[in-house]
Amino acid sequence: MTEAIKDYPGLLEMLDSLLRDPSLFWDEFYSDRDKKVPIFKNTPDENLVSYLQKGIVKSGKVLDLGCGAGRNAIYLAENGFEVDAVDLSKISLEWAKERSDERGLAINYIHENIFELNVQKGEYDFIYDSGCFHHLAPHRRITYIELLKRGLKEKGLFGITCFAVGGNLGGADLTDIEVYQKGTLMGGLGYTLDSLTDIFSDFKQLEMRRMVESSDGKTFGSSDLIAGLFIK
């Protein structure tokens, strides 16, 4: 970036530069498929399954933000959704495509930073984020919400799972200013029910709770994560 900050995108770029470039980290993270990582199993989030089973979320066009190895994108495609799935890691997308090809599913995988996506106004019925938001720096919440507002149709739904503060999977208890003072997200920021309600106050909250621990092996769930569902 240039040294002179002349506009809002330049300000965001400067703040991005204060923190680690995440692309190399995530490629390395997904390169060893044998690691004992819960989200490496090809099972969808328990809350996502519950939304579909209850009829709250119905099939339509969906954007899966930070799709990883594709477990939620695959579940949505199997249930009749037209799926765009984006991730910063090329390695994770290669794994996701292998999985969906094995099942004969057509999913549009996109290797891109979510803030560089060409999202059209009102393009999606549903936007889902399982574990992307808590890896974003505080200043990127602004552009994240702009993405949701632009991409969702009126009455479109937004679902999210993210670290609870102090959870065993992650959830750093940092103030926004401490993120920049320390130059790190410490593996991912932690949130509370109240802080997520405040951050997404421009949307109507339909549900906000801790995830339910999964015991049957058919879904992923951890009480160290918070699950929320909102409507535009």
Q: For the ranges 10-14, 80-84, 123-127, 161-165, which has the lowest average pLDDT?
A: 10-14
Nearest alpha-carbon partner for 144 in 65, 232, 231, 45: 65
> What DSSP element (H or E) covers 13?
helix 8-17
pLDDT 10s digits, 190-213: 999 999 999 999 999 999 999 999
Nearest alpha-carbon partner for 161 in 211, 230, 227: 227
Nearest alpha-carbon partner for 210 in 230, 227, 194, 188: 227
Q: Would you say how long the chain is, in residues?
A: 232
Just give the CATH number of 8-231: 3.40.50.150
Angle at 16 between CA 168 and CA 195, to 5 degrees: 45
Largest CA distance in the chain: 55
pLDDT 10s digits, 32-70: 999 999 899 999 999 999 999 999 999 999 999 999 999
Q: State both tokens at 24.
A: 């190399």
Contact (Cβ atoms closer than 8 angstroms) between residue 119 and residue 147: yes
**In Å, how far are 2, 72, 73, 113, 209 from 49, measured between CA atoms?**
46, 9, 12, 26, 15
Domain positions in the chain are: 8-231
